Amino acid sequence: MTANELRADWISLLKRHRAIAIIRAPNIDQGVLMAQAAAAGGFRLIEVAWTNSAEPAAMVTAIRRSLPDCIVGVGSVLTADNLDDAIAAGAKFCFTPHVSCALIMQANANQIPIVAGAMTPTEIIKAWQAGASSVKVFPISSLGNETYIRSLLGPLGPVPLVPTGGVTSEIAPALIAAGAIAVGLSTALFPSAEVLRGDWPAIEARSRYLLTLLELVDN
C-alpha cells in the first residue's frame, strides 16, 4: 500500500467514526475499563497515550484483546523506539505531539497511519507535505476552537485536521461543522471523579450522547 493509499483509507475511517477516545490511565486494568465504557457508548477508535499511561504497550494489547471490534492506536509518540514498540503491540494508528519527518517516514514504511501534531499553518503544511495521514491541531481550546479550524481551512485547503486538547461534547459538533475531519477527547470524556469511582455507565452515556451529536452534524 502506498502512502497515499494509506492516507485515503485513514481519512475514510475518520469520516465514518468522527471521534477518538484518548485513554490516559495509571494501570492496565483501569485503561481497559475506560476503553470498554467508551466502546459501549459507540466509540470504535481508541487511543492509548504513550507517555501518560502505565505500560502503554501492554495496555494496547489488553484493550485490543478486550475490544476486538475497536481500532486501537497510540498517542504522544515521541521517538522511533516508541513507534516500534507500539507497532509490535499491535497499534493500528499513531499520533505524535509534534512534526517529525523521520517518524512520518517510519510510520508510512510500516503501513501505519500517523497523525502529526501541529499548531501553526507552517507546521500543519509541513506535516501534510511530509506524508502525515492527517494533522492533529492542538491545544485547540487555547487556539480558538472552531474559529481557528475555519480560519485554517480557508487558506490551507482540504487538509484533514483532527483537533484535540480541551475538546468537549459541547464544542465537538462545532469543530466538525467548521471542517475538522474528527476530534479527539480525553478529560472531557473521562472526568477524573467518574473514573476514580468507577462510574462507567456515566462515561458510556456521555460517549453515546457525543456521538449522537456528531451524527446530527454529518446529517
pLDDT digits (tens, 9 = 90+) for 28-65: 999 999 999 999 999 999 999 998 888 999 999 999 99
pLDDT averaged over the chain?
Answer: 95
Split into its structural domains, the chain has a count of 1
Q: Return the CATH number at 203.
A: 3.20.20.70
Q: What is the pTM of this model?
A: 0.95
State which residues form the domain around 8. Answer: 3-218
Average pLDDT over residues 94-113: 97
HSE-up of 18 (CA within 13 Å, CB side)?
22
